[in-house]
Amino acid sequence: MKKSLLAILLGSSMALAACGGDEEAAPEEEKEPATEETTEEAPAETADASAGQEVYNKSCMSCHGGNLEGGMGPALDKIGADKSKDDILGVIKNGQGQMPPNVVQGEDAEAVAEWLAAKK
């Protein structure tokens, strides 16, 4: 009895830790030096998309997969076809199934919800 209880507790704590993301960030992509062509401001959508993907890579990828294919959590590669940005934000804030609430918060939650809503 004690062994099974210990296994359940250990498994649950590992699942929660994995969904919370890893403090070690993935290596940053190499950036090209700014030139006259690249110094113009990028559209806001591009900035939001890259911010959303960055948050996903840091906090969500361990459960939902590097290519949104799923793993411990469900696949998110076509989540925007079923859920709006507000629906996705609600899941992020309130949790669902084994996903704990508030894995990411504030602007990070907004950015990842917008990025995922575009996945159709």
CATH of domain 44-120: 1.10.760.10
pTM for the model: 0.62
* Residue 9 clears pLDDT 70, i.e. is over it: no
How far, in Å, CA of 109 to CA of 103, rounded? 8
User: What pLDDT is stored for residue 11 in this prediction?
Assistant: 53
Mean pLDDT of the chain: 77
Return the domain boundaries, the chain: 44-120
In this structure, what token pair is assigned to residue 110?
Answer: 């907004």
What is the pLDDT confidence band of residue 54, given thresholds at 50, 70 and 90? very high
Q: How far is CA 120 from CA 64, 67, 73, in A?
A: 16, 14, 18
